[in-house]
Structure 1
C-alpha cells in the first residue's frame, strides 16, 4: 500500500467526487461516467480503499463540511449514498452540526430517497434545476422537466432537508427565446435557502462545443449575459437573498460553508476520480477516469494524477482572485487604493474602511469583469 503524496495539513473540509450520470448534458465537460446501472457498491469500497491508502484518518480533523459532488451523486441511489457515507465514517468523523451536502438531479429526489439520505447524514441538497423552461431543459439534455423539479423541492422539504440550494444556468442561446425573468420568478416561488447561478459557456469536446464549431449554435451576446446577471442580482436581492459570492446567493445563515472554505483558501481533502485537494502548500488531483481510479486503488496504490506546489506568484494571484469573488473582499494597501481609483469611479468596486483597514469589494458590475480586474491587481501587487 503506497501513497505518493505526504499530507501536510489537518483538514476540516472534504470533497468527494461521484462521477456517475444518466447522460452527458450538452454543456458539460466534467469528468463523468455515464452508466445505466451505477456500480455503487464498487464505488463505496473504492472510497474506503482510497482513505486507507492515503491514511486519511490520521490527517483529517473533525470535519465541518462534507460535499458529495459530481457528476450526479444522487445517481448512487439511497443505498449507494448510505454505503458511501458508512465507508467514509470508518475513517473520518464530523461535527454534529456539520454541513453535509449532496448534489442531486430532480428526478432522483423522491420521498423514499430523501428519508434514507437523511438517515445517512445528508442535511443539505444542491439540486440541479438549471431552468424551468422545458424546451431549454430538453436542449440541455436534462432528464427532468419543470414539474419534476418542483416536486423534488417538495420532497426535500417534506423529508426534513433544512437547506435546499437550487442551480440555474443563464445566457442560453437567443434562438431558444427563454424568459429569464420567468425562470427567476419560478425559482423564487420555491423559496430555496440558497441559489447558484452560472453563465453558459461553450467548452470544447462537449455537444455544445461541437454545435458551435459547426455554426449550429451561437453564444449569447455579452450584453445579454450582463443583463441577465444584473437582473438576477436585482430580483434575488429584492427577495431577501444576499449576493455573497459572484455566483451564489443565500438567505441569512445559509451561505454554503463548504464552498466558502474554498474561497477562503483553507486546506481541504479530495476523494474519488478527478477530485482535487489542497494541503496549504500543494494542490493535488486524482486520476480522472472512474475505471482507472478504481483499478489503481484496488491495487492499493495512491490514485494521484498530478500535483502542483504553489509559488509565491501563485499565492498572490489566488489571494486576489478569491478575495474579489466574495462580498468579504480583499485587504488592500494605500498604494493599491490609488491603483484602483478608476475602478471605483466606474462603479466596478468599492473601498470599504473599518478598524481592520481598507478592503476592496466588487460590485455586480465588477464581478462581470472579475478575471480582468484580478489579473490587473495581481500584476500590480507582484511588482510592488
Structure 2
C-alpha cells in the first residue's frame, strides 16, 4: 500500500457524509446499499445485469459501497458477507472490506492508506478491515503484492495469507468471489476466496479469533467495500454482487471445523464414533428381529386358536341333543344280556 493520506482525508471527510446514490431493484445487490464518492452503477457489457465501479481508470478516484443499516453486537449476532469483484492489472492498492465504528471521524484520522490510522487500536478507532491487497508496502510489513490480510485498527495485518498459493491473482482482471464470515459464538472471523464459478471452500484462506462485542460494545458498526487511487494509481475495481446475511444467536454459522488444522483429527473422531456405535446398531437389529419373530408367532397362534375353536364347535354340533338317553340304553342292554346268560345257566 502506498500512503496517500491527504487525499484520503478529503475523501473520507466527503464521501462518508455526502450520499451519492442508492442501489435498488438490482438482483445481485442488497437493496439497502448506498454508493459514495466516485462509486457508480454501470450496466454489464453482456447486458445481463449491472455492477458497481468503485474506482475508474484515472488517478485520485475513490469509491465506497456501504450497507445503509449499521450492525450492533449488543445481542449475539453473526454475519456472512458474500461479494464478487474484479481488479484491473494496473497499479493500485486493491480493495478492502471495512467494518467501521459509529465515530467515523475517529476511525479515519486520514494519516494512512484508505484514510486509516497507524495508531494502536482503541475503542474509538478500532476498525476491522479485510484487505485484498495488490501492492507491497514494506512500511506495514506487507507479505507481497498479492495477499489477503485481516487488519484491526492498523494497516499491519494480524493475519495474512499469500493468495498466490491458491493459484489466484487478485489483480488479474477476472471475477473473484469472497466470503467473509464472523461467528459470534466462536468469536472467529474467516475469509474465503475463489474463482467465480467455484464452490465455497470449507477451508478459509485466512482467519482470526476476535470478539467484536468486546471491541465495540453497542456502537453502530457500518459495513462496506472501499477502494481508491492515489496520484500514481489508475486501478479499476468493480463489484458485481454484494449480499449480507445476519444470524442472531450463538450457534455456529457453518458446520466445518473451527480450526482447519483440526480437520484430520475431526475425521479420526468421527471414525471412532462410528466404531463406537456399531454394537448399538447390532443390538438394535437383534431387538428388531426378535420383535418380528414374536409378532409372527403371536399371529400364528392366534390363527391356530381361532381354527381349533371353530373345529371343536363343529364336532360338538354333531353330538345328540340328549346324550343321557344313549347312556341309559347301553345300560339296559347290558342288564338284559346278563339276565339271559343267567337263565341259560339254569
TM-score normalised according to structure 1 size: 0.24
TM-score normalised according to structure 2 size: 0.26
Indicate the structure whose relative CO is greater, using CA pairs within 8 Å and at least 6 residues apart.
2
Higher helix fraction: Structure 1 or Structure 2?
1
